[in-house]
Amino acid sequence: MRNTGFTKHYYIMLLPGFIWLLLINIIPMFGIVIAFEDFNPGKGFFHSEWIGLENFEYMFSLNDTAVIFSNTLTIAVMKIAGNLIVPLIFAIMLNELRFAVMKRWIQTVVYLPHFLSWVILSGILLDIFSYTGPVNTLLKLFDIDPVLFFARADLFPFIVVGSDVWKEFGFNTIIYLAALTGINPSLYEAASIDGAARLRRIWHVTLPGLRTTIVLLAVLSLGNVLNAGFDQIFNLYNPMLYSTGDIIDTWVYREGLLNMQYGLATAVGLLKSVISFVLIVVSYALASKFANYRIF
Amino acid sequence: MIKKKISIAMALMLVVLSACSQSEGNKVNTPSSSTEEETTHQTDESEQPSDPFGKYSETITLTYGKAVDPSDKSLPAGDTPEKNQYSRHILDNLNVDTKVIWQAASGTNYDQKVNLAISSSDLPDALVVKDTQLRKMVKSGQLEDLTDIFDKYASPAMKNFMAKTNGQSDKSVTFDGKMYAIPSIQVQSDGVHEMWIRKDWLDKLGLTPPKTIEELEKVAAAFVEQDPDGNGKKDTIGIAGQQNGGRLYTNFLESTNNTFGLDPIFGAFKSYPGFWLENESGDPVYGSILPETKEALGKLRDLYAKGLIDKEIGIRKSAYEPVTGGKAGIFFAPWWMGYGPLPDAIKNDPSANWQAYLLPLDADGQFNSRMGAPSTSFVVVRKGYEHPEAVIKMLNLLVRDEAKFDISVPVGYYPLRVPMSYTDESEYSAKALKEVLAGTKKPEDFTDPGYKLLAADIQNVKKVKKEPYDNMDIQHWDPQADTGTWSRIYSLLVGSSPLEQNYNKVYSVLYSQTKTMESRWSNLKKLEDETFMKIIMGAAPLDQFDKFVSDWKKQGGDKITEEVKAYNQ
């Protein structure tokens, strides 16, 4: 009884956030009925003609659908992998640094890009990789012909993934660094007494110590498998890059907001949400099994 | 215990805070709901019958969404896109108080905002929309029927403009015999894309304006190879191209004002991609899938590979840059380049002598130009707005007084402004100006008030044009005297003059969407944009075109062609 009294104010504190969630995330969900309607804004949700699964049938008849789903999957999976591995390596390297001041300084610098929006960063990227930009100037020094990066559909996913990892790795490093502090220093001491050199210590002490964290992060990111990053790609792509760069979100944006194909765009968005939902459930089950992670 | 108290206090604070923000939200809401009430109160106010310029006895309110140019800095201190010389003019003359409900940057941002307003049925009293949006709104029953009101209130000048389009403008706003919008009536020159070329570069290299595709190739090559800007570096562009998000050529839905596209090069091959044409048997065909287009693409691919077209065509962030920076020698655009980018170009290099020509010609020595729709934007009124005639009165006023406005603040700030004029206004004005300059005619000879800016143009022309009056080279102009006037007069005398010649005008048989297009067109267009750009830039072989044609037909193109045929009969 005493316990309930004590926790009440937590719920009160939670209330504003919950109201926000309700207004912004839960209530608009009723809009998914549009996916099953020939939506007519003048008539609204309740009076538009109900056409069942027609939007979905049309969606699967489009050649685009397979392309955008596979583009999304490719880019998102590469991003997930990159954002797991690069910060891990970086955190371990940082952990091996002995100068505390330098360590903190580096840590601060590398996570700064995380706070820049893609609108700004993509402008910078377009300049850096432009035909007369720094990258091509550099290539020229090695007698390589300038490359028109943003006309090369084959290179685009790598530019997207590379820049995303560059932007986020500093921030993701923090989680690993936190986990690293939890490893008992006496393990390192014991290992070095046993004659283990640095790499051996990383292999036998650091990595096993991080295993749960790695598994947890990997499993939780499953829910993002269909999120390839709208704002990044939208600000970088052009028609030359559609074949590898057009993702579900950019497509839905063009269909729904620009071409007013509300039903179709909602259907695709809904499909994406359903798949993501299944993945999140699966990832939660996996997380609780392998990393003992529980929300409730 | 203390800890507990603090946390309870904090929780309470949060509740108070959120309550505060809620009440603030209420406050914001109140004024708008009260204005709604005001307007409803005024409904029963009776007014004098059908005076096109009749002033309301009591102030009425009209809300609208506004497209603004974020880079524009012409508004004097204290004025806003909502309250400026134009809104005051309307308030003084008509007693209509115009209120901006939301504003967005012109172009895609504005279109999106309109789309959102349509989809949520949360509409201001009036809006300027595109053809596709107009159709959607009509279909959704969101618009006021303007048939009778237009008949009663439109000024004779406005009706005259409409009449000159041979019913095309009427047709674009009439659905089931009812008029649902007031169409813009644009000068036809907005749809004719000319070749703008650096004449000073030509002179320097001893060349003449290229008449054919072969000559164009030679001139472009000279511009790239022979260092026309004389800085010792090979950094010039032969033919400039469109920017990222720009169009390679106009199309039947967006048929005018394509800056930096390559329309005339397609025209020289008698190719009109993006337009609906008629074949020998009179049936509609889509220009993008015809063999002439493949031929034109092959040539463009060749020019690109040789480095004569901007390497960053379609990727560049701003197509203006190479022109204003003095790096490009040729680009294709309509007559009004004197308004931009040329002012910046001559600011950076006063000797940049940009001249316009109807070139290159096709194999028969003819210039082929695709022509735009006379009406591309539309003023619509929300169903249930109490004073739909106010919108028509505002446009009457615009047409009547446009020549008198101080255009140092662009007329785009006029609420609900859409261009309205005779379709031949720019060619006619150019010819008139030349005749007045040459002394063969007097200002008094031009009396038709429908050419609403001409009197002012005649008055101003000698401010910026220096003698000799028949030489249009840049050294015979004085842009510093009055940049605004220079923009207009240069656009007319240099940009519109070529249009007095005979040229082959090609119209699309259709300038709007059919039923299947609503769902299929964006995908077909994506296919087209992607394929054509890849072919030109060498990322796909030319024969990819054949696959495009069969894909296009299969993915809905054939069905749409049938619909266009039915529409035309």
DSSP sequence for B426-473: HHHHHHHHHHHHHTSS-GGG---TTSTTHHHHHHHHHHHBPSSTT--S
Q: Are residues B283 and B404 in the same domain?
A: no
* pLDDT tens sequence across B37-93: 344 444 444 445 578 999 999 999 999 999 998 878 888 999 999 999 999 999 999
- CB of A150 within 8 Å of a chain B CB? The answer is yes
Scored b (16 or more CB within 10 A) or e, B85-112 reads: ebbebbeebbebbbbbbebbebeeebbe
Residue B1 has pLDDT above 70, yes or no: no
Cβ partners under 8 Å of residue A152, min gap 6: B539
- CB of A28 within 8 Å of a chain B CB? The answer is no
- State both tokens at B265: 């090069």
Q: Provide ipTM, 2 decimals.
A: 0.79
* pLDDT tens sequence across B28-41: 333 333 344 344 44
Tell me, yes or no, whether B3 lies in a domain: no
- DSSP element (H, E) containing B436: helix B425-438
Residue B41 maps to which CATH number? Answer: 3.40.190.10
- Counts of helices then strands in chain B (DSSP H, E): 20, 15
Q: Are residues B103 and B122 in the same domain?
A: yes
Report yes or no: B481 and B425 within 8 Å, Cβ to Cβ.
Answer: no
Report yes or no: B260 and B242 within 8 Å, Cβ to Cβ.
Answer: yes
How much is the pLDDT for A288? 83
Q: Is B196 helix (H, G, I), strand (E, B) or coil?
A: strand
Q: Are residues B439 and B459 in the same domain?
A: yes
Averaged confidence pLDDT in chain A: 88
Q: Are residues B98 and B155 in the same domain?
A: yes
Residue B455 has pLDDT above 60, yes or no: yes
* pLDDT tens sequence across A176-208: 999 998 889 899 899 989 988 888 989 999 999
Quote the CA–CA distance of B17 and B97 in Å, as a whole number: 37
Tell me, yes or no, whether A295 lies in a domain: no
Portion 140-199 of B in contact with A at CB < 8 A: 140-142
- What are residue B371's DSSP bridge partners? B507
Q: Are residues B282 and B137 in the same domain?
A: no
Quote the CA–CA distance of A81 and A91 in Å, as a whole number: 16
Tell me, yes or no, whether A58 lies in a domain: yes
How much is the pLDDT for B49? 59
Q: Are residues B355 and B206 in the same domain?
A: yes
The parent domain of residue B455 ranges over 425-501
Tell me, yes or no, whether A19 lies in a domain: no
* pLDDT tens sequence across B104-163: 998 888 998 999 999 888 999 999 999 989 999 998 999 999 999 999 999 998 998 888
Beta strands in B256-345 (DSSP E): 276-278, 284-286, 328-333
**Residue in A240, A269, A273 with CA at minimum distance from that of residue A255:** A269
User: Cα separations (Å) of A33 from A36, A44, B199?
Assistant: 6, 11, 60
**Which of the four pLDDT bands, split at 50, 70 and 90, describes residue A4?**
low
Quote the CA–CA distance of B252 and B258 in Å, as a whole number: 12
Quote the CA–CA distance of B229 and B212 in Å, as a whole number: 24
Residue A296 has pLDDT above 70, yes or no: no
Quote the CA–CA distance of A157 and A236 in Å, as a whole number: 11
How much is the pLDDT for B11? 46
How much is the pLDDT for B34? 38
**Interchain pair B118, A131: CB under 8 A:** no
Number of structural domains found in chain B: 3
**Interchain pair A264, B111: CB under 8 A:** no
How much is the pLDDT for B453? 87
**Residue in A107, A232, A218 with CA at minimum distance from that of residue A160:** A232
Tell me, yes or no, whether B6 lies in a domain: no
Q: How many angstroms separate the CA of residue A249 from the nearest CA in chain B? A: 15
Residue A263 maps to which CATH number? Answer: 1.10.3720.10
pLDDT cut 70: percent of chain B above it: 91
- CB of B9 within 8 Å of a chain A CB? The answer is no
Q: Are residues B181 and B203 in the same domain?
A: no
Tell me, yes or no, whether B420 lies in a domain: no
Number of structural domains found in chain A: 1
Q: Are residues B155 and B32 in the same domain?
A: yes
* pLDDT tens sequence across B157-208: 899 888 888 888 888 899 999 999 999 998 999 999 999 999 999 999 999 9
**Which of the four pLDDT bands, split at 50, 70 and 90, describes residue B513?**
confident
* pLDDT tens sequence across A240-265: 899 999 999 998 888 888 888 888 88
Which residue bears the tokens 């004779």?
B156
How much is the pLDDT for A222? 82
Tell me, yes or no, whether B1 lies in a domain: no
Quote the CA–CA distance of B369 and B193 in Å, as a whole number: 7
Tell me, yes or no, whether B204 lies in a domain: yes
The parent domain of residue A73 ranges over 36-290
Tell me, yes or no, whether A20 lies in a domain: no
Q: Are residues B240 and B229 in the same domain?
A: yes
- What are residue B198's DSSP bridge partners? B354
Alpha-carbon Rg for chain A in angstroms: 24
**Interchain pair B140, A238: CB under 8 A:** no
**What is the torsional sign of CA B94, B97, B101, B105?**
positive
Q: Are residues B147 and B177 in the same domain?
A: yes
Tell me, yes or no, whether B491 lies in a domain: yes
Quote the CA–CA distance of B331 and A4 in Å, as a whole number: 75
**Residue in B107, B132, B11 with CA at minimum distance from that of residue B378:** B132
- CB of B4 within 8 Å of a chain A CB? The answer is yes
How much is the pLDDT for A89? 93
Q: Which of A60-64, A150-154, B293-297, B461-465 has the highest mean pLDDT?
A: B293-297
Q: Are residues B281 and B351 in the same domain?
A: yes
Which residue bears the tokens 């809905």?
B556
- CB of B544 within 8 Å of a chain A CB? The answer is no
- State both tokens at B171: 């047709």
Report yes or no: B548 and B531 within 8 Å, Cβ to Cβ.
Answer: yes
**Residue where a domain stops, chosen among B484, B501, B518:** B501
The amino acid that residue B517 corresponds to is M
Q: Are residues B214 and B316 in the same domain?
A: yes
Tell me, yes or no, whether A11 lies in a domain: no
**Which of the four pLDDT bands, split at 50, 70 and 90, describes residue A6?**
low
Quote the CA–CA distance of B182 and B421 in Å, as a whole number: 13
- State both tokens at B262: 């390559």
**Residue where a domain stops, chosen among B443, B477, B501:** B501
**What is the torsional sign of CA B250, B251, B256, B257?**
negative
Q: Is B385 helix (H, G, I), strand (E, B) or coil?
A: coil
**Which of the four pLDDT bands, split at 50, 70 and 90, describes residue A287?**
confident
Residue B529 has pLDDT above 60, yes or no: yes
Tell me, yes or no, whether A3 lies in a domain: no
Tell me, yes or no, whether A70 lies in a domain: yes
Tell me, yes or no, whether A46 lies in a domain: yes
Write down the pTM of the prediction.
0.82
